[in-house]
Amino acid sequence: MLEFIIRRILWTIPILFLVSLLAFAIIQAPPGDFVTALSASLAERGEEVDMAQLEALRTRFGLDKPFIVQYWKWISGVLVGDFGVSFEWRQPVSELIGERLGLSFILALATILFTWALALPIGIYSAVKKYTIGDYIVTTIGFIGLAMPNFLLALVLMYVGVVHLGNDVTGLFSPEYRNAPWSIAKCLDLLAHLWIPVVILGTSATASIIRIMRANLLDELPKPYVTTARAKGLSEFKVLVTYPVRVALSPFISTIGWMFPQIISGSVIVSIVLSLPTAGPLLLSSLKAQDMYLAGSFVLLLSILSVVGMLVSDILLAIADPRIRRKK
């Protein structure tokens, strides 16, 4: 098991290097640069564009340097915790993304826990009680959850909250805590507001994993090892939990690798609709402005989350299924 973990960790090093190179290349792939986007923005507002100042700005930011020089300047700073300065905000990138990425991480973690807490028992029930009234109800709700876009569900909940409950459901904090320093009262206020975006972001993922869990369990239940366990006189609950459910849990564990970055990057529209102070809207803004240090840092951190998530997922899958760690 130790050899398996070390081998997986060693594989992450070249992957992270390639990810950082690709992230920086993708940010620079569109034509032009931050100064070009700034010039276009000034022209749209009818302001005078001083080409000399723009060229001086391009030289100051190092945008006139070759790609590899810009990449080395950025990645050498990242290795010591310096993500550079945002061109658009004129602030260190670490200050801009710190709290927003933290709130995004909390939102993603709460969404995954919500998804697992609902999908696991419902998926098992739907498989064990297949083709019953309860299974049909769960399946219908699941298809509705898969079909409904997250932003539409956010708009419906906003309407219900404002019109019928008289509460503003936007944001993650009450007005008095938005700019206040962190305290126990602010944490409790965050928990009171967190459930709405968690339900919105977790609905489609829950419906999807219920379908996967049901299908996997239906494949396992008729197999001979389950029949043998029943023949040994074990209770139905013990047979179910000890053997087929354990095998069918693989989809749950494998979701760790992709759910964190997917929820953080995929919640942009929901974050804009609900005015959430998370990473998604800032990432979108930085991509539109071609703010390469800010956008590149976001893409790199999301990629690192994916790689680390896949590593954790592989280790947990190897613990759950010994056949995996025996594969070279």
Q: What is the CATH number of the domain that holds 183?
A: 1.10.3720.10
Nearest-angstrom CA–CA distance, 211 and 119: 9
Do residues 42 and 73 share a domain?
yes
Domain boundary among 38, 71, 93: 93
For 27, the domain range is 17-93
Do residues 86 and 139 share a domain?
no
Do residues 86 and 222 share a domain?
no
DSSP 64: T
Is there a domain that residue 286 lies in? yes
Would you call 319 helix, strand, or coil by DSSP? Answer: helix
Query: What percent of the residues of the chain are helix, what percent strand, and what percent coil, each to the nearest 5?
Result: 75, 0, 20
Q: What is the pLDDT of residue 207?
A: 87
Q: What is the pLDDT of residue 280?
A: 78
Do residues 116 and 50 share a domain?
no
Closest-CA residue to 321 (of 225, 218, 250):
250
Do residues 39 and 120 share a domain?
no
Would you call 92 helix, strand, or coil by DSSP? Answer: strand
pLDDT in tens, the chain (328 residues): 777 777 777 888 888 888 888 878 877 777 777 777 777 777 777 777 677 777 787 787 777 788 888 888 888 888 888 888 887 787 888 888 877 888 888 888 888 888 889 988 998 898 888 889 988 998 888 888 888 888 888 888 888 877 877 777 777 888 888 778 888 888 888 888 888 888 888 888 888 888 888 888 888 888 888 888 888 888 888 888 888 888 777 766 777 666 666 666 666 777 888 888 887 788 888 877 778 788 888 888 877 877 777 788 778 777 777 666 665 5
CA dihedral 239, 241, 246, 252 (to 10 degrees): 150
Do residues 37 and 145 share a domain?
no
Domain boundary among 61, 93, 125: 93
Is there a domain that residue 8 lies in? no
Do residues 208 and 141 share a domain?
yes
Q: What is the pLDDT of residue 236?
A: 84
What's the Cα-to-Cα distance from 3 to each of 6, 313, 318, 321, rounded to whole Å? 5, 16, 12, 16
Do residues 127 and 168 share a domain?
yes
Do residues 316 and 176 share a domain?
yes
Do residues 231 and 195 share a domain?
yes
Is there a domain that residue 128 lies in? yes
Is there a domain that residue 130 lies in? yes
Closest-CA residue to 61 (of 281, 279, 285, 294):
294
Would you call 148 helix, strand, or coil by DSSP? Answer: coil
Do residues 59 and 181 share a domain?
no
Closest-CA residue to 302 (of 280, 287, 285, 281):
280
Is there a domain that residue 229 lies in? yes
Is there a domain that residue 12 lies in? no
Nearest-angstrom CA–CA distance, 79 and 47: 39
Element containing residue 67 per DSSP (H, E): helix 67-78
Domain boundary among 33, 67, 93: 93
Do residues 66 and 172 share a domain?
no
Q: How many domains does the chain have?
A: 2
Is there a domain that residue 43 lies in? yes
SS (H, E, C) 96-147: HHHHHHHHHHHHHHHHHHHHHHHHHHHHHHHHHCCCCHHHHHHHHHHHHHHH
Is there a domain that residue 11 lies in? no
